Homo-oligomer: A and B are copies of this chain.
Amino acid sequence: MTIPQRVRLVEVGPRDGLQNEAVAAPVAVRVRLIEMLAEAGLQNIEAGSFVPEKLIPQMAQTGAVLAALKPHVRARISVLAPNSRGFTDAVAAGAKEIAILTAASESFSQRNMNCGIAESLERARALASAARISDIRLRGYISCVLGCPFEGHVEAERVAEIAVELHRLGCDEISLGDTIGVGTPLAARGLVERVAKDVPLPRLAGHFHDTYGQALANVFACLETGLAVFDCSVAGLGGCPFAPGATGNVSTEDVVYMLNGCGVETGVDLDRLLDAGDFICKFLGQPPRGRVALARAAREGALRACVPGQR
């Protein structure tokens, strides 16, 4: 099995990551984080979401974040918009890519989006028409593709049906989200293979949470199917709303380390990426997160311990 020579990483830390952190980061911190991520070489960065502030205070003022970004960085930004109001605000803020949400589980859709899957697809259809008019790139997330906190098992067939709908209605990219991180490599790969029968593989992305430690193995298993777009989060920011305290998204640093080792190009400078992770962890008042970051900190600690006067 050969794996792709090049992978595109979609950095979701400033959105899917920060929205699940207890501390809300102010605009200046979010702007600095996004610019550091761009400087590290990330070409796709999800910068925030246009949702009511009272629902997700961590994502307040996403418009101000976009306005403060340098234009060449703003060109790499995607934002989440759950409905037409958010969509309009996102377009007004200058977003060139907008992400929309649906789910592969009816119960999850009801609880997370306050509407059923069919209605979320109807909303998506309306936004897709608006996107075409405004020349906006559209990204569709499907949540719970490998399991649901309420329904348990989720059928790959069902995920494929929804992916086909999103593709037909005009999504440029469809991200298959293991929202609660319960997937394991053969299931993840099997799902991608199944969906790729009905939607072209280059239109698909893998989005794995590391709740049960499986995310990197899932990325590798999917890489072996030829999947070449993965969502990840600097410093593994984020968590699981259904298990507060659990691990978040797969850490971008750990993904880049793996891809570097496998000879896969990402265009990302690992050291600068680690600096970005360090920056946001310090703001959050937390130790480095992600294994590579922890190893770098430990190594530097060991080096400092060897230099007299620096311990």
The chain A residues found within 8 Å of chain B, CB to CB, are 1, 3, 181-187, 210-214, 216-217, 219-221, 240, 242-247, 251, 254, 257-258, 260-263, 290-292, 294-295, 297-299, 301-302, 305
A186 to B299, CA, bound (A): 25
Does the CB pair B245–A214 fall under 8 Å? no
**Residue in B220, B246, B301 whose beta carbon sits within 8 Å of that of A220 in the complex:** B220
Known A184-B258, A261-B186: A302·B217 in contact at CB below 8 Å: no
Which residues of chain B come closer than 8 Å to A219, judged between CB atoms?
Answer: 217
Can you list 24 A-B pairs, Cβ within 8 angstroms, ordered by A? A1-B1, A3-B186, A184-B257, A184-B260, A185-B261, A186-B262, A211-B291, A212-B254, A212-B257, A213-B254, A213-B290, A214-B291, A217-B219, A217-B220, A217-B258, A220-B220, A243-B295, A243-B299, A245-B298, A245-B302, A246-B291, A246-B295, A246-B298, A246-B299
Q: How many copies does the complex hold?
A: 2
Q: Is the CB of A212 within 8 A of B292?
A: yes
Smallest CB-CB separation from A211: which chain B residue?
B295
